Amino acid sequence: MSDEKHVCCICKGIFFGYGNNPEPVESEGRCCDDCNNSHVIATRLGMLGIIPTDAEIEEMEQQILDDEKQLGEAHGV
C-alpha cells in the first residue's frame, strides 16, 4: 500500500493508498474507497441495469407522486 496522500476527485477528501478509477462518475483523477463503494460501483451497476441510478430513482419517485395525485383527484380528495 502506498503511503502517499491524495485528494479524492469526487468528495475532495484526503485518502492514502492507490485509490480507485472514478469512471464513469469522474473522468480524471482517483477516488477514495468510500466514493468508489457509494458512487462509482453503484453508477456502474446502474448503467448495466442491475440497480437503478439516482436519476431513475428520482423519476420513479416523481411518477409515484403523480399517480397518487391523480388517484386523489379522481376520488375527490
- Is the pLDDT confidence value at 5 over 60? yes
What are the percentages of helix, strand and coil residues in the chain, rounded to 5?
45, 10, 45
- Is the pLDDT confidence value at 58 over 90? no
pLDDT in tens, 8-35: 999 999 999 999 999 999 999 999 999 9
Tell me how many helices (H) and strands (E) the chain has.
3, 2
The whole-number average pLDDT for the span 55-63 is 86
Q: What is the mean pLDDT of the chain?
A: 89
CB 9 within 8 A of CB 24: no
Q: Cα–Cα distance between 16 and 32 in angstroms, integer?
A: 8
The whole-number average pLDDT for the span 35-61 is 86
If one compares 23 and 45, the residue with the highest pLDDT of the two is 23
Closest Cα to residue 34, out of 50, 52, 54, 13? 13
